[in-house]
A and B are shown apart, each in its own frame.
Chain A
């Protein structure tokens, strides 16, 4: 055991509370970049994470989009997976038994093409042992129906969250898209509709062009951009939303290091999600958790909650 550490009162304290969940640290995977945990369990002690977040689940299985589905761009990754997943039933039967073996809360990400589908998913997951919270994906840019279509309009977003809220007593996290004029309006609408937390940002819509072939690179033509390239956009969105809503914010978008995670905590995120970095290095989240701990120790900060929202601005914007 390291100096100054005991099990009942770990030092420094990395625990954060979020939507009624107690997280042992504020670091979790971003949905879609961590599969269903199993794929990474050889490289990462899943028990070390703040929470486990699944890939999006839909009622019926989804095949996903035509290849190529990913392409690297400068300091970024453009993807158009298209919510490939085995569907709710297979998820409950084959993926949950593995996930519920671990200590961190399991946050199941759900996506629907109608409001009723979201509500149905929420109803059926309510009774599944081991499901700690729902993250509602109203921000996927890679599907024709649902996804971003709901998340880009405050009223539509609120309709989905309200339906989910009424269908479940589990904590509800709304995952928001940055592909809107005013993300604050969407965040306030989902808060009003009963969301217990918001997570942002999902990917930014983009495309890559093969100028020699005169064709789009992605099979789906367009995709969602993630990675270090989008971090400034994400920080700005989190900063604005965190000051405009009372519910906690899970910040994400290009977090590669503990330094990046600290930046998100400073602008007001209660927790952070790591996405693209998992695809680059499976141990990224563990390194980020370690880095946060080191930072707090070096600066004699007892509690990570002291950092959250601690950004000092020279003048109001």
Chain B
């Protein structure tokens, strides 16, 4: 059964509007890129669960970590939780990243897209991969867990939009510059849709297989309601819809239809 009640172990502000929560839960071992679907309150507003990607997992303690930005009623409720509080959750859900071993990998995170890629970096290194982690944030105060990543043995490349740390500009521009000289066996990305589309473009240009984690408004989380469906290419080139919750959230970048409408 992957419907559970978790107990908050810690929940604290780590950057402007960004919280890190540790939750003690009895769940099967999650993979990087999978998510949990949390009920945010006991009443009808907010009504639906909120999908949060798994930031880390500690098998010995039986704890998952979540890193989330407060954007609305649901995440505001989560941010107000204190140790000992209970949270209803579903998961781990979805299909996560598929990692190779012994390769050179680029991880590309934009903003809160850092959350699942931290977990991915740790797992990637455990499989003997070399990891270069491209992290794009608005400003230096949004940089998180640099020390942890360095201790793991990750090569961190930072881009800030305001130029307050690292490369001044978009993380995808930094990645594009590096791709002229570096060879990667795989690219793994999570972040805003524009960033993912740019990563997919670069991956196609350099013929590097890429996996991207998508976001969409979600209801059931179980693949039943088709609410979080996104257009993707089938093998025959025609477009179909697949659920972010059950067939994703991670998709091969070349399968994603990046501009499905006038949006």
Residues of A within 8 A of B (CB): 32-35, 39-40, 42-43, 55, 63-64, 66-72, 74-77, 79, 81, 84, 215, 219, 227-228, 256, 276, 278-283
Contact = CB atoms under 8 A, between A and B. Distances in A.
Interface in B1-60: 1-3, 39, 44-49
B98 interface: no
A35 B39 contact: no
Interface stretch (B119-127, B141-149, B220-228): B220-228
Nearest to A33: B225
B240 interface: yes
B241 interface: yes
B184 to A, nearest CB: 30
B217 interface: yes
Nearest to A85: B226
Given A67-B260, A84-B241, A283-B3, A32 B44 contact: no
Contacts of B47: 72, 75-77, 227-228, 276, 280
Contact of B220 (A72, A219, A256, A278): A278
Given A66-B261, A76-B47, A279 B226 contact: no
Given A42-B2, A280-B47, A281-B88, A77 B219 contact: yes
A287 B46 CA distance: 20
B222 A70 contact: no
A70 B218 contact: yes
A71 B45 CA distance: 13
Nearest to B230: A67
Given A33-B220, A70-B218, A64 B49 contact: no
Closest 4 CB pairs of A and B: A35-B224, A70-B227, A39-B224, A75-B44
Contacts of A69: 217, 226-229
B222 A282 contact: yes
Given A72-B47, A72-B48, A228-B47, A35 B223 contact: yes
Which residue of B49, B225, B260 has the most chain A CB atoms within 10 A of its CB atom?
B225
A75 to B, nearest CB: 4
A64 B3 CA distance: 29
Which residue of A32, A72, A283 has the most chain B CB atoms within 10 A of its CB atom?
A72
A75 B44 CA distance: 5
B1 A219 contact: no
Interface of B: 1-3, 39, 44-49, 88, 90, 216-220, 222-231, 239-241, 246, 260-261, 263
Nearest to A61: B240
7 contacts: A67-B217, A70-B225, A75-B44, A77-B219, A279-B225, A279-B227, A282-B90
Contacts of B49: 280
Contacts of B263: 215, 219
A281 B42 CA distance: 11
A261 B3 CA distance: 23
B236 to A, nearest CB: 14
Nearest to B49: A280
Contact of B229 (A32, A64, A279, A283): A64
B48 A280 contact: yes
B224 A68 contact: no
A81 B225 contact: yes
A72 B227 CA distance: 11
A68 B222 CA distance: 17
A32 B220 CA distance: 11
A74 B47 CA distance: 8
A256 to B, nearest CB: 7
Contact of B260 (A33, A66, A72, A215): A66
Given A35-B223, A279-B225, 14 more contacts: A33-B225, A63-B239, A63-B241, A66-B261, A67-B260, A69-B228, A72-B46, A72-B48, A72-B217, A81-B227, A227-B44, A278-B224, A280-B48, A283-B3
A40 B90 CA distance: 12
A282 B219 contact: no
A260 B102 CA distance: 57
Contacts of A283: 3
